[in-house]
Amino acid sequence: MATPGTERTPRVVAARKLLRRAGRDRAGRFLVEGAQAVREALDWDGRMHELFVTGTASLRNPELVERARERGVPVVPVTDAAAAGLSDTVTPQGLVAVCDLLDVPVAVALGDAPSFVAVCAGISDPGNVGTVTRVADAAGCDAVLLAGDTVDPHNGKAVRASTGSVFHLPLARDRDAPAVLDACRGAGLVTLVADGRGEVDLHDPAAAPLLAGPVAWVLGNEAHGPGAEVLVAADHRVRVPIHGRAESLNLATAAAICLYASVAARAAAGAPIAP
């Protein structure tokens, strides 16, 4: 049996650089930690370069280790300390894969006649980006676009929060947020930005035809919203009415409400819903 790699093993040292966005962008790779995420990565048709695994994690997940070997992925035994160095969690799981980055150009993500897209505009919390991706996947979105200064979807917290959904639908990044909305419009989508002061009430029956059509839902920054340039660029600003005394809704909740409002409107209109 191979001697487990340590924190100083060159492959571990190289992989540890992927904890930072600059390292990920430079290498074109990112880290995938934990059994669920690794399982989804093994089902993905992209490339997994290697799988680091501790002795304990190997005993807990023999099927994943075997599947990696069957795919020709190098399985690298490592010490607990080495695995901890590849993790940004309090309790490392001892199972970390190195995979190619997932994102594609916006034109590619929108290239297959999409009818339902989620756009993250300036979202700074990686957990929120991962959760929005998970909700978009569950709601049947065709793609998730990350516009403006939105956090990297390959961030470890974002990947974990997505529970594997980052591997299920196209992701695209572009720092020019208005250009992303223009691209959505060019693909035949109406751009709807969630805004507490929007002119369209999500629950107004008159909004149903709008929600049921081809749409790109734009979800903005947790504290400051999507930004003035996005509000101006969007076709409509849609508010989620608050009937009680809550100051606002958190981003993940608002995303779920908005995306599933479109799902419900499409179902009521007899439009096809993604399986």
16-61 pLDDT, tens digit each: 999 999 999 999 999 999 999 999 999 999 999 999 999 999 999 9
Residue 275 lies in a domain: no
In this predicted structure, what is the pLDDT of residue 3?
86
Which tokens sit at 178? 């208005």
CATH number of the domain at 24, please: 3.30.1330.30
Rg (CA), the chain: 20
Sheet with 143-147: list strands edge to edge: 171-174, 143-147, 116-121, 215-220, 190-194, 236-239, 200-201
Q: Per residue in 65-123, pLDDT tens?
A: 999 999 999 999 999 999 999 999 989 999 999 999 999 999 999 998 999 999 999 99
- Could you tell me the pTM of the whole model? 0.93
Q: Per residue in 192-201, pLDDT tens?
A: 999 988 999 9
* Residue 169 shares a structural domain with residue 193: yes
In this predicted structure, what is the pLDDT of residue 248?
85
Residue 5 lies in a domain: no
- Give the span between the Cα atoms of 213 and 269, in whole angstroms: 9
Which tokens sit at 243? 């009937």
In this predicted structure, what is the pLDDT of residue 1?
55
In this predicted structure, what is the pLDDT of residue 274?
64
Residue 44 lies in a domain: yes
- Give the span between the Cα atoms of 257 and 118, in whole angstroms: 13
* Residue 119 shares a structural domain with residue 254: yes
Say which residues have a Cβ less than 8 Å from residue 206's Cβ, sequence separation at least 6: none
215 and 266 Cβ atoms separated by less than 8 Å: no
* Residue 79 shares a structural domain with residue 119: no
Q: Per residue in 182-238, pLDDT tens?
A: 999 999 999 999 998 899 999 999 999 999 999 999 999 877 888 899 999 999 999
Range of the domain at 174: 106-268
Quick count: other Cβ atoms within 10 Å of Cβ 99? Answer: 26
Residue 28 lies in a domain: yes
The fraction of the chain above a pLDDT of 90, given in percent, is 90
* Residue 184 shares a structural domain with residue 64: no
Q: Per residue in 128-182, pLDDT tens?
A: 999 999 999 999 999 999 999 999 999 999 999 999 999 999 999 999 999 999 9
CATH number of the domain at 127, please: 3.40.1280.10
70 and 139 Cβ atoms separated by less than 8 Å: no
Choosing from 64, 82, 100, the residue where a domain stops is 100
* Residue 252 shares a structural domain with residue 147: yes
State in Å, rounded, how far the first CA of the chain is from the last one: 45
- Give the span between the Cα atoms of 51 and 37, in whole angstroms: 12
- The closest of 256, 274, 275 to 113, measured between CA atoms, is 274
- The tally of domains found in the chain comes to 2
